[in-house]
Amino acid sequence: MSVPASLVKELRERTGAGMMDCKKALSESGGDMEQAVDYLREKGLAAAAKKAGRIATEGLIESYIHGAGRIGVLVEVNCETDFVAKTDEFKALVRDIAMQIAASKPEYVRREEVSAETITKEKGILRAQALNEGKPEKIVERMVEGRIEKYFKEFCLLEQPFIKNSDVTVQQYLTENIAKIGENINVRRFMRFELGEGLQKKESNLASEVAAAVKK
């Protein structure tokens, strides 16, 4: 049977299994999501879902400097064991996360970190924008909800498109690596510095430069 890409994506997010494995599981199960999950578990492929709740206290703190010291990032990424933290695969993942932060300028790791006060303020601004655009009152609230979702995708690291493959989010990239590496992986915190940030100066295109460099 033909399997919709949206179902394959959902199954990948739930299980961390590879795209082709998810597609095969959905095909074998006639498109039934729960049966597809069971199929992957029976085959030992649904690894990420079982590992996601495990405690991760080891890992690495990575620094990344771009543009001769014009942008700097510190990020802590946790895994379960010191053994995995020392592997090339984990080090490469942490480096990718640091580069993502440098290029995409997130403000939070996940949406749960955004304060209720910030969300209320943003919704107020978005509502005013929609009304100023002449949108009918009855659809404004739906527009605001849609735009606040875009806000999360722009400013929450795990919801951003992954800089090296915009077809997946950073969370999906992590999930795939949880399945591959075999341990829970968690981005705990980060700090991003940009030279002169907050000072009055000519507009900078540093983030765009980082994104272009990463994709090369």
Cα angle: 83, vertex 88, 90; to 5 degrees: 65
Average pLDDT over the chain, rounded to an integer:
86
Sheet with 71-79: strands ordered across: 58-66, 71-79, 186-194
Higher-confidence residue: 108 or 124? 108
Q: Which domain holds residue 14?
A: 5-51
CATH of the domain at 37: 1.10.8.10
Please report the pLDDT score of residue 135 as a whole number: 81
The tens digit of pLDDT for each residue in 174-207 reads: 988 887 888 889 999 999 999 988 786 555 566 6
Categorize the per-residue pLDDT at 145 as very low, low, confident or very high, splitting at 50, 70 and 90. confident
Statement: residue 63 has pLDDT above 70: yes
The better pLDDT of the pair 40, 203 is held by 40
Q: How many domains does the chain have?
A: 3
Tokens for 31, please give them: 């498109």
Q: What is the CATH number of the domain that holds 133?
A: 1.10.286.20
